[in-house]
């Protein structure tokens, strides 16, 4: 048995969904270990684009079981919409989709608290997706949360109303001007709960332990990027969960010594959604060009992503804290036609040059130190063989591989699962 782990190494949106989809044929179980519907894992095949928010990215494969782990927070309303969107594809959810009893639930009032909290921050807002993720994790660590297993309890309604009453009192603290219809919100929520009850709900850690013992191959799927980790990301502009490799252990109940390979995914450039520091951000035409060609708009929020050159300081940091053993480079095709590509190798703070990721990377204090490398003109999206890639692109990949001291095993040259080259 082997448990392998796949995660993003930047600020999210690296292309995790596509790679999980590509790799699923080699695995028996795909297990999502953290985050919530703030994820937007995009899959493209057969001319159709799919965006998954909670459901693992192996759901379209006929054999793999897809597990939503205990570290995930679930919004029943969004989850029901996902199920409805997948209805035309004749997927047997009873056999292919499992949900941990220990996964926490996002209530309608969690979303309201998220919106009120973000509005109260004014210009200091962190760029929340407003999905209620943060308040749900706060209730989890505050030992007030409600879990999927609770919906089958006789005391479920009472516990729900107790927590909602608490949330409504908290909203008064924010002096919020939010307008909402609680009756309508709850009607939609409880309808979704009824659909959730029809799904296969399991003691997920026990399921995974038995899968391990029987020799099944398991792939743990992360959401968001390593630089959004609540401990190791660019705090406070981070998500509310552990997005690094450690999160797979706590979010699935898998022991650290069971993880074999750690797959790290990164873009050939860097993007970020929402607020927060971004040393290599591009503000001119080149940044706009990358955003347009790369279709850099959030799959969950629709917000435009900020674009910049690749940051090797941040990448090396993410590789180290995750113990990455293999790399996958996404969207190399987007950089085609750019005459000179810049690579950030170091940061300059005042007169001091550093090559490590510091406590603070605000643009006022941290400046990127670049080297230049020749770009390539060729369109990569039609290339399906390693030997046919242009020399300049190959040089770029080999340079990154040498600097990162980790093999780049997969190159993506387009959004479709077929546009994937193995090295």
| Alpha carbon 290 to chain centroid, angstroms | 21
Q: Residue 123 and residue 112: Cα distance in Å, rounded?
A: 19
Average pLDDT by stretches of 10, the chain with 423 residues: 90 88 91 86 70 85 92 96 86 89 97 86 68 94 96 97 95 81 95 95 96 94 94 94 96 95 97 93 95 84 88 98 98 96 96 94 90 96 95 97 97 93 94
Closest-CA residue to 83 (of 47, 44, 54, 124): 54
* Integer Cα distance of 231 and 321 in angstroms: 11
CB atoms within 10 A of CB 388: 11
Tokens found for residue 196: 């959730």
pLDDT in tens, 318-338: 999 999 999 999 999 999 999
Nearest to 39, CA basis, from 411, 298, 399: 298
How far is Cα of residue 91 from the mean position of the Cα atoms in its chain? 23
Model pLDDT, residue 174: 83
pTM of structure: 0.91
Q: Are 318 and 9 in contact (CB under 8 A)?
A: yes
Q: Read off the pLDDT of residues 162-205 as tens digits, 9 standing for 90 and up.
A: 999 999 999 888 876 788 899 999 999 999 999 999 999 999 99
pLDDT, one tens digit per residue, over 346-396 is 999 999 999 999 999 987 889 999 999 999 999 999 999 999 999 999 999
Predicted pLDDT of residue 303? 77
Catalytic amino acids? 13, 41
Is residue 407 within 8 Å of 390, Cβ to Cβ?
Answer: no
Q: Please give the Cα distance from 402 to 14 (Å, whole number).
A: 21
User: What does the block give as tokens for 359?
Assistant: 């406590």
């Amino acid at each position: 048995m082997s448990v392998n782990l796949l995660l993003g190494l930047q600020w999210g949106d690296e292309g995790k969904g596509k790679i999980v989809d590509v790799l699923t044929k080699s695995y028996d179980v795909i297990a999502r270990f953290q985050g919530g519907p703030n994820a937007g894992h995009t899959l493209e095949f057969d001319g159709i684009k799919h965006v998954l928010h909670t459901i693992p990215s192996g759901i379209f494969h006929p054999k793999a079981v897809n597990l939503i782990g205990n570290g995930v927070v679930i919004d029943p309303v969004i989850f029901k919409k996902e199920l409805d969107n997948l209805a035309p594809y004749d997927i047997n959810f009873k056999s292919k989709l499992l949900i941990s009893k220990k996964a926490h639930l996002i209530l309608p009032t969690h979303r309201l608290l998220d919106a009120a909290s973000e509005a109260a921050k004014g210009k200091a807002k962190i760029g929340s997706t407003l999905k209620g993720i943060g308040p749900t994790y706060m209730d989890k660590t505050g030992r007030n949360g409600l879990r999927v297993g609770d919906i089958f309890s006789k005391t479920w309604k009472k516990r729900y109303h107790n927590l909602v009453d608490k949330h409504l009192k908290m909203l008064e603290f924010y002096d919020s001007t939010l307008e909402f219809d609680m009756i309508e919100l709850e009607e939609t929520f409880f309808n979704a709960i009824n659909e959730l009850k029809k799904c296969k709900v399991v003691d997920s850690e026990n399921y995974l332990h038995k899968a391990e013992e029987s020799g099944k191959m398991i792939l743990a799927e992360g959401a968001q990027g390593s630089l959004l980790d609540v401990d190791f990301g660019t705090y406070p502009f981070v998500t509310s969960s552990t997005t690094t490799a450690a999160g797979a252990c706590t979010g699935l109940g898998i022991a650290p010594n069971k993880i074999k390979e750690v797959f790290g995914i990164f873009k050939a450039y860097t993007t970020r959604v929402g607020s927060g520091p971004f040393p290599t951000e591009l503000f001119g035409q080149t940044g706009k060009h990358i955003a347009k060609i790369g279709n850099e708009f959030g799959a969950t929020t629709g917000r435009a992503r900020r674009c910049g050159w690749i940051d090797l300081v941040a990448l090396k940091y993410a590789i180290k804290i995750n113990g990455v053993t293999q790399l996958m480079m996404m969207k190399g095709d987007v950089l085609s036609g750019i005459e000179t590509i810049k690579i950030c190798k170091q940061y300059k703070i005042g007169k001091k040059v550093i090559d490590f990721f510091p406590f603070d990377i605000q643009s006022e204090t941290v400046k990127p130190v670049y080297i230049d490398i020749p770009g390539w003109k060729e369109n990569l999206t039609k290339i399906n063989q390693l030997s046919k890639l242009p020399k300049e692109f190959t040089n770029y990949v080999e340079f990154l591989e040498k600097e990162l001291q980790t093999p780049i095993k997969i190159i993506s040259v387009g959004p479709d699962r077929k546009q994937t080259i193995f090295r």
